[in-house]
Amino acid sequence: MNAISNVSPDAAARLPYPYLLFLGDTTEPGFAKTAFGVRDWAGDKCVGEFAVGATVTTGLPVMTPAEARAAGARAVLIGVANRGGIIGPTWIAPLLEALEAGLDIVSGMHVRLGEVPELAAAAQKHGRCLIDVRVPPAGLPVGTGRKRTGKRLLTVGTDCALGKKYTALSLAAAFAERGLDVDFRATGQTGIMIAGGGIPMDAVVSDFEAGAAEVLSPDAAADHWDVIEGQGSLFHPAYAAVSLGLLHGSQPDVIVVCHQPGRAEVLGAPGYAVPSIEETIALNLRLGGRTNPAIRCAGVSLNTAGLDADAAERLFAEESARLGLPVADPIRRGAAFAALVDNCLK
């Protein structure tokens, strides 16, 4: 068995795709964001999906591991990002089935694949690889707060799993389309799988969070943009520490606030209301100003997947007038998104 515990850009480029996306027994779409992200941004690397009681779907063909292997798949990719990043007991048998079918396993969970005795033994027996990408690099420094050269944009959110990664990827692509020198900086397991590099910020020891963000987005040319994938929310009762360390260490010149209309409670924390967009802008600017006093909010990204095109356009116009900022859905793009890009670059 070859167990890879940390994926550098070079190693990520060698991840064994095509993938069979594993959805486990997931019933909450927000917890399947890894599968959706890989499908949407690396769909050419996916052959199908595999589940054990899940009620969510990527829409890809349903396959057994043996069928996927026959179709050319080389690995099962765990497409779930559940609370705590655990590998549930009901997952063991299907993952063993994948190893027996000749597939490696790629995981972004907190629990290391090699720490599951049954998987470690089966991988050894069948000569398969267990590949963990949610492992930060060794030797990360404590943050310094030193102002770095170059320009930075960070996506922030009113909650988890509502579009920070998609917004960052879309903005980075739009910057590149305008001929700008830009890098997308991944901070979560799905982004790392898509981009081929990054640092999983939620796996970094708290004292080194800001330092990790500084390493992720180093000094750059004056006209270079780093578009940094946000994590969590400053208002989340469980994950706010990750968001704050990333905010301080990124030192963003620009933030874009991400929000899902209609979401009332914080994901995974019943009883905690989702904050308003205005509250989210104000708190991020106040705390982000500690390491970059020039920080500003360029606009709002709305996840309008639950709305039709006309309703989404009306909402963009209403919210833009109310907030005095460009408001758009980066997946729908269009004129509203172009205005958001313009304001980011102003």
For the chain, give the longest Cα–Cα distance: 62
Stretch 135-155: mean pLDDT: 96
Q: What is the CA radius of gyration of the chain?
A: 20
Predicted confidence at residue 4, as pLDDT, reads: 42
Question: Does 247 have pLDDT greater than 60?
Answer: yes
Separation CA 156–CA 301 (nearest Å) = 10
Stretch 313-332: mean pLDDT: 98
Stretch 13-39: mean pLDDT: 88
Long-range CB contact pairs, 202-207, < 8 A, 24+: 202/85, 202/110, 202/134, 202/231, 202/232, 202/239, 202/242, 203/110, 203/134, 203/135, 203/136, 204/136, 204/140, 204/245, 206/241, 206/245, 207/142
Separation CA 137–CA 173 (nearest Å) = 27
Domain ranges of the chain: 2-132, 151-345
Predicted confidence at residue 6, as pLDDT, reads: 44
Question: Does 9 have pLDDT greater than 70?
Answer: no
Stretch 17-28: mean pLDDT: 93
Give the confidence band of 3 by pLDDT, cuts at 50, 70, 90: very low
Stretch 262-266: mean pLDDT: 95
* Helix ranges, the chain (H): 9-13, 33-41, 65-70, 92-100, 117-126, 164-177, 189-195, 209-216, 240-250, 277-288, 309-323, 334-345
> CATH number of the domain at 151-345, out of 3.40.190.10, 3.40.50.300, 2.40.50.140, 3.20.20.10?
3.40.50.300
SS3 state of residue 22: strand
Instruction: Of 250, 231, 344, 328, give the one whose Cα is nearest residue 296.
Output: 344
Q: Token pair of 51, please?
A: 């589940």
**Cβ atoms 131, 113 nearer than 8 A:** yes
Predicted confidence at residue 193, as pLDDT, reads: 87
Question: 175 in the Ramachandran plot: left (φ > 0), alpha (ψ -120 to 50) or beta?
Answer: alpha
Give the confidence band of 1 by pLDDT, cuts at 50, 70, 90: very low
> CATH number of the domain at 2-132, out of 3.40.190.10, 3.40.50.720, 3.20.20.70, 3.40.605.10?
3.40.50.720
Stretch 60-86: mean pLDDT: 92
Separation CA 253–CA 272 (nearest Å) = 30
User: In whole angstroms, what separates CA 20 from the centre of its chain?
Assistant: 19
Question: Does 180 have pLDDT greater than 70?
Answer: yes
Question: Does 2 have pLDDT greater than 80?
Answer: no
Q: Do 2-132 and 151-345 have matching folds?
A: yes
Peptide bond into 270 cis (omega under 30): no
Question: Does 69 have pLDDT greater than 90?
Answer: yes
Predicted confidence at residue 64, as pLDDT, reads: 97
Give the confidence band of 13 by pLDDT, cuts at 50, 70, 90: very low
Give the confidence band of 139 by pLDDT, cuts at 50, 70, 90: very high
Q: Token pair of 78, please?
A: 């765990």
Separation CA 280–CA 315 (nearest Å) = 19
Stretch 32-59: mean pLDDT: 93
Stretch 303-318: mean pLDDT: 96
